[in-house]
């Protein structure tokens, strides 16, 4: 009887482990990793957005230490679906507050001043700005992947 209980417990553990393992043979379109063109100057981005009828998306991030920032990048920004939308509708700006990546003092000061201007209190914070330089909305990480995030953004900017 004791051996039967041990065998049942082992089988149960095996079943739990098997159900938690990601299937690596399932590749979806959203697993395509792309690199985006992120500007580091908000004023330049606003000018480009105004000239092209786009919205500025400013990503205030801690790229090398903030778990939610890393998750937003890997689940949303690195995917083709987001990149396709961004190319048509957004001018992207990344203002990074890393702990282990070297930055010039000028970059640190610029990022800090811009974060203070928008009242950034945590990471990631996404600020949407129109082509005139006015804030439209603030948001952050949202579950659901790139398509859900695009729909989330459309709720603020309408396109």
- For residues 22 and 111, the model is more confident at 111
Q: Using alpha carbons, list the distances in angstroms from residue 61 to 8, 50, 53, 149, 155.
A: 47, 24, 25, 17, 22
Residue 122 within a domain: yes
| Average predicted confidence (pLDDT) for the chain | 87
Domain contains 49: yes
The verdict on residue 25 lying in a domain is no
Position 159 scores a pLDDT of 72
If you average pLDDT over residues 35-40, what whole number do you get?
95
**What residues make up the domain containing 118?**
32-157
Q: What is the DSSP string of 14-45?
A: HHHHHHHSPPTT---GGG-B-----BS-HHHH
pLDDT at 2: 65
Question: Residue 95 is encoded by which pair of tokens?
Answer: 């203002």
Calpha distance 7→148 (Å, rounded): 44
Asked if 92 contacts 38 with a C-beta cutoff of 8 angstroms, the reply is yes
Q: What is the pLDDT of residue 102?
A: 97
Tokens of 109: 């000061």
Name the helix (H) or strand (E) containing 158: none
pLDDT value of position 33: 83
Q: Is residue 26 part of a domain?
A: no
**pLDDT, position 23:** 36
Residue 8's Cβ-side half-sphere holds a number of Cα atoms within 13 Å equal to 5
How many domains, the chain? 1
Give phi and psi for 83, each to the nearest 5: -60, -40
In a domain, 27, yes or no: no
Residue 107 CB coordination number (10 Å): 13
CATH of the domain at 125: 3.40.30.10
- Residues 105-157 have pLDDT tens digits of 999 999 999 999 999 999 999 999 999 999 999 999 999 999 999 999 999 99
Look at residue 80 and tell me if it is in a domain: yes
The answer to whether position 71 is within a domain reads yes
Which pLDDT tens digit goes with each residue over 84-118?
999 999 999 999 999 999 999 999 999 999 999 99
Evaluate whether residue 8 is within a structural domain.
no
Given pLDDT bands bounded at 50, 70 and 90, which one contains residue 3? Answer: low
The model carries a pTM of 0.80
């Amino acid at each position: 009887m004791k051996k039967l209980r041990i065998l049942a417990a082992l089988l149960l553990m095996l079943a739990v482990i098997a159900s938690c393992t990601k299937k690596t043979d399932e590749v979806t379109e959203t697993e395509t990793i792309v690199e985006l063109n992120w500007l580091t100057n908000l004023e330049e981005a606003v000018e480009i957005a105004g000239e092209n009828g786009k919205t500025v998306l400013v990503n205030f991030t801690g790229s090398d230490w903030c778990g939610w920032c890393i998750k937003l990048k890997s689940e949303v920004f690195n995917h083709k679906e987001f990149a396709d939308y961004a190319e048509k509708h957004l001018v992207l700006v990344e203002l990074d507050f890393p702990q282990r990546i070297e930055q010039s003092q000028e970059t640190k000061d610029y990022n800090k001043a811009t974060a203070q201007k928008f009242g950034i209190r945590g990471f990631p914070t996404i600020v949407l700005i129109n082509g005139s330089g006015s804030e439209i909305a603030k948001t952050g990480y949202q579950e659901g992947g790139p398509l859900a995030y695009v729909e989330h953004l459309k709720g603020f900017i309408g396109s």
